[in-house]
């Protein structure tokens, strides 16, 4: 979806978000971990990813950080799926880092890793 090593998003309750302007196109794919659909909403003119909605979490919409006028106005508070990060990706200090999703398939919260100093997401040594 991103063509890069990561995707930055901001999660909101679905009722807190309204999209205006052109109606996004949607592509759906099945998550490898849950087999549930993930819907990618994108601009039909330029292809920019605008948001995600989830069969697994229908109450949330993720807004693509790059779609904000000022992407730096958002603070990144966690990283997910760090076990599948590309080589060379560095995880920051004092940030929740989840090897997979924030919760298991049964809804149980997963415990994040927190590092005192920046670390490589994976070591290929």
Q: Which tens digits make up the pLDDT trace of 70-94?
A: 999 988 888 888 888 888 899 999 9
Q: Which residue has the tokens 């949330």?
A: 60
- Note the pTM of the prediction, 2 decimals: 0.80
User: For residue 9, what pLDDT is reported?
Assistant: 87
Contact (Cβ atoms closer than 8 angstroms) between residue 52 and residue 41: yes
What mean pLDDT do residues 46-61 have? 92
| Lookup: tokens for 123 | 């070591």
Name, in order, each residue with C-beta under 8 angstroms of 15's C-beta and a sequence gap of 6 or more: none
């Amino acid at each position: 979806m991103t063509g890069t090593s990561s995707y930055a998003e901001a999660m909101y309750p679905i009722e807190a978000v309204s999209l205006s302007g052109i109606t996004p196109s949607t592509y759906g794919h099945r998550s490898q971990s849950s087999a549930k659909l993930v819907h990618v909403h994108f601009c039909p003119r330029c292809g920019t990813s605008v948001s995600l909605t989830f069969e697994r979490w229908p109450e949330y919409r993720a807004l693509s950080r790059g779609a904000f006028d000022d992407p730096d106005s958002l603070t990144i508070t966690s990283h997910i799926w760090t076990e599948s990060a590309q080589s060379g990706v560095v995880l920051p200090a004092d940030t929740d880092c989840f090897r997979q999703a924030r919760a298991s398939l049964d809804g149980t919260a997963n415990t994040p890793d927190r590092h005192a100093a920046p670390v490589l997401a994976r070591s290929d040594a």
